Chain A
Amino acid sequence: MSELIHDPMILRQIIMDHYEYPRNHELSDEEGYVSKHMASASCIDDIYVQAKLKDDVIEDIRFDGVACTISTASTSIMSELLQGKTTSEARKIIDAYYAMINNEPYDDELLQEAIAFHTVGKQANRIKCATIGWEAMKQIIEDGEAHE
């Protein structure tokens, strides 16, 4: 991972791939999904994130909506990365992602492809786009824990 982080070509490729072919990019009508609507007041992004939690495990994550490259790709990567994880594992990954975005120390092994966004803060007005899907998932996990 560590050598990848220095190659913008590869990181850009990851973002483009997830924007052009977003994973889990269809909402489900099935029962058991909780849904979070994220609409930013400061930008165009307007997405829905769905997750199916069973016991402590995130069985599925889906999303859809109108969104820019950064929010689509970051949410797509998140949906792959957190699927199948327990909520406590997911929380660790989410914390690492936020630490990376905020230029704090983080474990890049946890983040896999999500390190593509490690310099998103260069365009500070777009940090919201890089975190909108992650924030939705964080809230879904927190809401779930609050209900227990």
Chain B
Amino acid sequence: MIDITGIRRDFPMLNHKQMQSHDLIYFDNGATTFKPQAVIDAITYYYTDLSCNAHRGDYELAYRLDQAFEEARASAAAFIHASEREIVFTSGASEGLNLVAQGYGRKFLREGDIVLSTEAEHASCILPWMRACEETGAVLEYIPLDEQGRVGMEAVAEMMNENVKVIVLAQISNVLGYEAPIREICALAHRYGAIVVVDGAQSVPHLPIDVTELDCDFLAFSAHKMCGPTGIGVLYGKYALLDAMDPLYLGGGSNARFDMCGNILLKQPPYKFESGTANIAGILGMKAAIDYLSQIGMEQIHAYEQQLHRQMVDGLQRLDNIHIYNADADGAIVTFNVKDVFAQDAATYFSAHGVAVRSGQHCAKLLSEKLNTSATVRASLYFYNDTQEIKRFLALAAEADMKTCLDVYF
């Protein structure tokens, strides 16, 4: 059981914050999440008590920071059941995904190779591979989604052949919240000698993740979507792959030796990817976030979110003025529209009543073929939301129409 009252007390943003003169309800957790005091304190601790550079000093303060730094790597590794040397600190999921496309894709893809993805990917997942394909002559192909917008194993199997070298996709879609069968996709891909790159931005914050069990080759995620600071995240990669690929940047911290004849000896992974002074405050903040989530338990977090999600979907389904696109989503993401109201206007209505939801547009193919709309409203939940908030949201949703959505301007 989750102690929701205790949890909510831990988050300054959940206490006495208002938006447009109403108590703030934050349902944009797919974009970023609030930070518990423990995370804020960890960042402050670095700047007030442990401020120096990592891996640089011969003095005691620097040694203590190095300890904290590597402990942070160890907790990130434990959180997804990886080993420490497979954890690369990045600025977030986007950098991690770019690093794989550039450092692995551009190095190993050849003309005629195929990269598989889906029609529902986030730009950070798909754009780096578009460029890697353009540069190498490889071809990007899309696994068709089923009627609902899910990635099905049959569709993946139909697209597989010996030329497929990489499959890149999100574990949980940021638009519809469907979970892709990553374990099965990895097993199939490996039979063909392909690797699987997983965008974990929407899954790692919400589900227990075990990379050895999934057997994925890369997994990228961002700390800020899981109660951590912005500007920090993790790329997990199987060690042999990290060892074979190139870093994005060269510089201090990533090289062991170099000379003026152009000889560079890079350090071992993960250090060869981490040149320049790291986002140390971010790394210590991310550790505090991982500790915080682990203390509650990812199983509990997931179960509680499912409960909230059910309550929201059931409530919205009873309303004639609401259209839901993903009632059976696996993640706590509800994508909907107020009938006859443009998504952005509905989002403004909710904002005027204190509720933060996101309106968004989706890639042309997904919207025209599956959703049949140009834009939707997304409410994305996290474990610190509660049933009271959902009740207030449902009462507002019940009142939403073109008139009430325009009333907020007068």
Query: Is B406 within 8 A of A126, CB to CB?
Result: no
Given A8-B410, A123-B352, decide whether A66 and B374 contact each other with a Cβ distance below 8 A: yes
What separation, in Å, do the CA atoms of A123 and B347 have in the docked complex?
Answer: 11
**A interface footprint on B387-410 (CB within 8 Å = 1, 0 otherwise):** 000000000000000110111111
Stretch at the interface among A9-17, A77-85, A139-147: A9-17
Q: Which of B348, B406, B408 has the most CB of A within 10 A?
A: B406
Query: Is B345 within 8 A of A70, CB to CB?
Result: yes
B361: interface (CB < 8 Å)? yes
Interface size class, chain A: 20 to 34
Interface size class, chain B: 20 to 34
Query: Is A44 within 8 A of B409, CB to CB?
Result: no
Tell me which residues across on chain B come within 8 A of A38, comparing CB atoms. Answer: none
What separation, in Å, do the CA atoms of A66 and B408 have in the docked complex?
Answer: 22
**B interface footprint on A115-126 (CB within 8 Å = 1, 0 otherwise):** 001011011011
Query: Is A68 within 8 A of B342, CB to CB?
Result: yes
A86: interface (CB < 8 Å)? no
A28: interface (CB < 8 Å)? no
Task: Choose one: A66, A69, A119, A122; the contact of B345 (CB below 8 Å).
Answer: A69
A43: interface (CB < 8 Å)? yes
Tell me which residues across on chain A come within 8 A of B374, comparing CB atoms. Answer: 44, 66
Task: Choose one: B342, B351, B375, B402; the contact of A123 (CB below 8 Å).
Answer: B351
A114: interface (CB < 8 Å)? no
What separation, in Å, do the CA atoms of A15 and B407 have in the docked complex?
Answer: 11
From residue B259, how far is it (CB to closest CB) to chain A in Å?
Answer: 46
Tell me which residues across on chain A come within 8 A of B359, comparing CB atoms. Answer: 44
User: Count the A-B residue pairs with Cβ separation under 8 angstroms: how many?
Assistant: 57
B360: interface (CB < 8 Å)? yes
Query: Is B410 within 8 A of A44, CB to CB?
Result: no
Tell me which residues across on chain B come within 8 A of A68, comparing CB atoms. Answer: 342-345
From residue B407, how far is it (CB to closest CB) to chain A in Å?
Answer: 7
From residue A120, how far is it (CB to closest CB) to chain B in Å?
Answer: 6
Given A44-B360, A123-B352, decide whether A16 and B344 contact each other with a Cβ distance below 8 A: no
Query: Is B348 within 8 A of A123, CB to CB?
Result: yes
A129: interface (CB < 8 Å)? yes
What separation, in Å, do the CA atoms of A70 and B359 have in the docked complex?
Answer: 15
Tell me which residues across on chain B come within 8 A of A16, comparing CB atoms. Answer: 402-403, 406
Query: Is B361 within 8 A of A44, CB to CB?
Result: yes
Task: Choose one: B341, B342, B348, B406; the contact of A125 (CB below 8 Å).
Answer: B348
**B interface footprint on A24-48 (CB within 8 Å = 1, 0 otherwise):** 0000000000000000000111000
- With CB as the reference atom, state the residue of chain A lying closest to B374: A66
From residue B349, how far is it (CB to closest CB) to chain A in Å?
Answer: 9
- With CB as the reference atom, state the residue of chain A lying closest to B359: A44
What separation, in Å, do the CA atoms of A8 and B352 have in the docked complex?
Answer: 16
What separation, in Å, do the CA atoms of A117 and B406 have in the docked complex?
Answer: 11
What separation, in Å, do the CA atoms of A11 and B351 have in the docked complex?
Answer: 21
Known: A44-B344, A70-B409. 20 other contacts (CB 8 A): A11-B410, A12-B403, A12-B406, A12-B407, A16-B403, A43-B344, A44-B374, A44-B375, A67-B342, A68-B344, A68-B345, A69-B341, A69-B402, A69-B405, A117-B409, A122-B408, A122-B409, A123-B408, A123-B409, A126-B409
Q: Which 7 A-B pairs have the closest CB atoms?
A: A8-B410, A68-B344, A68-B342, A69-B345, A12-B406, A44-B361, A66-B374
**Taking beta carbons and an 8 Å cutoff, which residues of B are in contact with A?**
341-345, 348, 351-352, 359-361, 374-375, 402-403, 405-410
A-B contact pairs, 10 of them (CB 8 A): A12-B403, A44-B344, A44-B361, A66-B361, A67-B342, A69-B341, A69-B345, A70-B345, A119-B410, A123-B352
